[in-house]
């Protein structure tokens, strides 16, 4: 069964809008200045993709992706420095979103959505790289509790059925 390009676009909008909103709202509460800037910049980049998707859809209907919102909110709340949310972007959420975008591009009859998915993939990859770059100059976190929480973020997505990707439609 294939999904329509509208369904794909609405779901991707929900993902990018969730990233934009949660990261934008959470960045101000972080304590590491470099991470604050990086999280705001990621929020802005994801918001730009969400705006493009809104324009493509004309009258979009998109609710937040609850499990994605949960993972991002927990990553912001469990580590006020911002290291956990960058970990979530680089290791947990970003790669799954890239696979979702790849799956979307493989759907037939995408039309004008195909180049938008290409641009969105570039944005996600750029944000993964920039977040990894921001984090690499910081101290290694050798805390078993932090590492357990980080693992649980991925397991939360896996339990919700998002083992490799965030899907391409609801």
Q: Where are the domains of the chain?
A: 5-159
Sort residue 105 into left (φ over 0), alpha (ψ -120 to 50) or beta: alpha
CATH class of 5-159: mainly alpha
Regarding pTM above 0.75, the answer is yes
Show the CA angle centred on residue 148, arms to residues 168 and 64, nearest 5°.
30
| Residues 108-164 pLDDT 10s | 888 889 999 999 999 999 999 999 999 887 766 778 888 899 999 999 999 999 999
Secondary structure (3-state) at 109 = coil
Rounded to the nearest angstrom, the gap between the alpha carbon of residue 23 and the centroid of all alpha carbons in its chain is 9
The CA distance from 97 to 78, in Å, is 22
Residue 125 Cα distances to 49, 81, 146, 167, angstroms: 13, 23, 25, 17
| Residues 10-43 pLDDT 10s | 999 999 999 999 999 999 999 999 999 999 999 9
HSE (side-chain half, CA atoms, 13 Å) at 18: 23
Residue 22 Cα distances to 41, 59, 113, 121, angstroms: 13, 22, 25, 20
- Cβ neighbours of residue 161 closer than 8 Å, sequence gap 6 or more: 167
| Residues 57-83 pLDDT 10s | 988 877 999 999 999 999 999 899 999
Sort residue 111 into left (φ over 0), alpha (ψ -120 to 50) or beta: left
Give burial (CB, 10 Å; 0-12/13-18/19+) of 148. exposed
Residue 1 confidence (pLDDT): 35
Secondary structure (3-state) at 85 = helix
Q: Which is nearest to 92 in space by CA: 73, 112, 68, 111?
A: 68
């Amino acid at each position: 069964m294939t999904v329509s390009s509208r369904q794909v676009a609405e779901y991707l909008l929900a993902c990018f809008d969730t990233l934009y909103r949660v990261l934008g709202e959470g960045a101000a509460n972080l304590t590491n200045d470099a991470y604050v800037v990086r999280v705001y910049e990621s929020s802005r980049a994801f918001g730009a993709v969400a705006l493009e998707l809104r324009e493509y859809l004309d009258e979009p209907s998109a609710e937040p992706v609850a499990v994605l919102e949960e993972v991002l909110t927990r990553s912001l709340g469990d580590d006020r420095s911002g290291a956990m949310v960058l970990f979530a972007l680089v290791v947990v959420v970003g790669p799954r979103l890239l696979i979702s975008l790849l799956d979307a591009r493989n759907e037939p009859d995408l039309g004008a959505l195909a180049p938008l998915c290409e641009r969105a993939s570039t944005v996600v990859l750029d944000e993964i790289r920039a977040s990894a770059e921001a984090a690499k100059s910081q101290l290694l976190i050798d805390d078993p509790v932090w590492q357990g929480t980080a693992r649980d973020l991925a397991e939360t997505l896996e339990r919700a059925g998002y083992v490799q990707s965030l899907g391409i439609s609801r």
